[in-house]
């Protein structure tokens, strides 16, 4: 008993000494954001069809639309990307620092949480050489798109309702690799088609600021590469992600470009249904690409606060090597998104409009392919009030008008229920929320 008490006392002393050392050095920070709202959502106007209509000589791309009654008005309490984390650094000399961050999701609506489920990494940084790290982090395309979001890139009003998703119930995701089954013929997963992603098993490098120019490079390792030798039954697929982000900033102007490529993720299998479900031996590679250009400018008015106007253009392209006649081997779509912020005193008016155009597709063998009316129109408007630099309340209205064969959800993949709503639905949300950062 005495030995146990002695060990406990010694351990407690070490903890207190370590805590005091950390407090004195000031190199560890606890931080977070708690954001929750009370909202009313509903979905109306779904087309209620089982599958796309059969038209002689033409194949419609897209998964079969979910069938069911329209989702009536219901109330929800939602945690919008709430998080708690800690980060720190150690000076190594010559302007070099070791740094780390562990960030976790905090679902304050339901009480559950996920350890290190958000941006988490360890690396080195230097003002002259830049930053390099290993871990799980937002890819450059997501980071730059989020930087112009009118609603902190969270909630039903977020711009990722349009940006980074082709529709078809594909939402933002956090993944360490390909989510579908092993091999091209493995079960498709919507996460493999998402370009709005936080990617694990990754290496990123961020350049220092050079006369207003900065860049971010990302690589997600091919840990899921198939075994050799490659055969028709077991092709040597090599799932890998590459990301690039470029930015030039001059006073209130920012110009950004991002590129992201998913190799052997077979995103087309998740969005084009049975007509693009790959088979071993006939579909052994895929290349899914995202190109995005963003421009943002902040205007300062002498007596009326400031206005930030931003716009993004995005092209998503999904391609595979399938050679089976009448199988979909390409789908692409363009989208634009515009956001507006007007700040005057503690008030900020916020709005966004996004238009996902109908897609285009091709079939192996050259038969006709149509992806008509697979687009959507999304708009949000509302405002926020700052009680302080750390605490805001906000109110917004968000709406998604889907095309007849489209399945876009609201921001972060939100729908009235946890399941998909019928294709062609019009989804709306009215929310009153509060956000606090520490």
360 with 371: CB under 8 angstroms? Answer: yes
Q: How far is the C-alpha of 113 from the C-alpha of 217, rounded, in Å? A: 30
Please state the pTM of the whole predicted model: 0.90
Phi and psi at residue 160, in whole multiples of 5°? Answer: -75, 10
Query: Each residue's pLDDT tens digit in the chain (438 positions)?
Result: 444 333 333 444 333 334 444 444 459 999 999 999 999 999 998 776 555 556 666 666 766 555 566 788 999 999 999 999 999 999 999 999 999 999 999 999 988 878 899 999 999 999 999 999 999 999 999 999 999 999 999 999 999 999 999 998 899 999 999 998 655 556 778 899 999 999 999 999 999 999 999 999 999 999 998 888 877 777 788 999 999 999 999 999 999 999 999 999 999 888 886 556 556 566 788 999 999 999 999 999 988 999 999 999 999 999 998 888 888 899 999 999 999 999 999 999 999 999 999 999 998 888 888 888 899 999 999 999 999 999 999 999 999 999 988 889 999 988 888 766 777 899 999 999 999 999
Q: How far is the C-alpha of 383 from the C-alpha of 221, rounded, in Å? A: 41
Quick one: which of 197, 161, 232, 184 has its CA closest to 329? Answer: 184
Six-digit token string for 157: 């009003």
258 with 245: CB under 8 angstroms? Answer: yes
Residue 66 exposed, middle or buried by CB count within 10 Å (0-12, 13-18, 19+): middle
The 10 Å Cβ neighbour count of residue 326 is 14
Walk me through the domains of the chain, giving residue ranges and CATH numbers: 31-437 (2.40.160.10)
Q: How far is the C-alpha of 81 from the C-alpha of 98, rounded, in Å? A: 27
pLDDT digits (tens, 9 = 90+) for 1-42: 444 333 333 444 333 334 444 444 459 999 999 999 999 999
> Angle at the Cα of 182 (from 179 to 183), degrees rounded to 5?
120
pLDDT digits (tens, 9 = 90+) for 216-256: 999 999 999 888 887 777 778 899 999 999 999 999 999 99
- Ranges of beta strands (E only) in 209-305 are 213-220, 240-250, 253-263, 286-300
């Amino acid at each position: 008993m005495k030995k146990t008490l002695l060990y406990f006392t010694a351990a407690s002393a070490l903890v207190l000494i370590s805590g005091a050392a950390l407090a004195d050095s000031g190199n560890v920070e606890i931080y977070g954001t708690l954001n929750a709202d009370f909202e009313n959502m509903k979905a109306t106007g779904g087309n209620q069809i089982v599958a796309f209509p059969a038209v002689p000589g033409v194949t419609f791309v897209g998964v079969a639309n979910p069938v069911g009654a329209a989702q009536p008005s219901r109330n929800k309490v939602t945690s919008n990307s709430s998080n708690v984390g800690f980060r720190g650094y150690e000076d190594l000399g010559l302007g070099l620092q070791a740094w780390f961050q562990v960030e976790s999701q905090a679902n304050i609506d339901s009480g559950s949480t996920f350890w290190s489920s958000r941006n988490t990494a360890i690396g080195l940084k230097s003002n002259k050489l830049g930053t390099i790290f290993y871990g799980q982090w937002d890819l450059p395309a997501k980071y730059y798109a989020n930087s112009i979001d009118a609603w902190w890139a969270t909630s039903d009003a977020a711009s990722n309702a349009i940006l980074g998703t082709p529709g078809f119930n594909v939402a933002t995701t956090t993944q360490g690799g390909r989510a579908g089954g092993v091999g091209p013929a493995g079960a498709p997963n919507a996460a493999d088609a998402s370009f709005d992603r936080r990617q694990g098993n990754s290496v990123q490098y961020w350049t220092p600021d050079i006369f207003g120019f900065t860049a971010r490079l990302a690589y997600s390792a091919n840990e899921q590469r198939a075994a050799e030798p490659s055969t028709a039954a077991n092709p040597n697929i090599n799932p890998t992600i590459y990301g690039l982000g470029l930015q030039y900033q001059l006073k209130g102007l920012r110009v950004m470009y991002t590129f992201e490529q998913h190799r052997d993720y077979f995103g087309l299998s998740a969005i084009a249904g049975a007509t693009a479900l790959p088979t071993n031996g006939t579909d052994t590679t895929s290349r899914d690409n995202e190109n995005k250009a963003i421009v943002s400018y902040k205007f300062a008015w002498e007596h009326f606060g400031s206005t930030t106007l931003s716009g993004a253009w995005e092209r998503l392209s999904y391609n595979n090597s399938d050679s089976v006649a009448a199988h979909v081997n390409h789908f692409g779509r363009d989208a634009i998104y515009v956001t507006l912020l007007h700040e005057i005193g503690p008030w900020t008016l916020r709005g966004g409009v996004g238009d996902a155009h109908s897609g285009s597709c091709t079939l192996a063998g050259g038969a006709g392919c149509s992806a008509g009316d697979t687009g959507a129109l999304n708009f949000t408007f509302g405002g926020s009030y700052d009680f302080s630099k750390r605490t805001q309340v906000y109110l917004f209205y968000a709406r998604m008008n889907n095309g007849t064969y489209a399945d876009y959800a609201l921001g972060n993949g939100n729908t009235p229920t946890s399941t998909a709503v019928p294709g062609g639905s019009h989804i709306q949300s009215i929310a009153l929320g509060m956000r606090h950062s520490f």
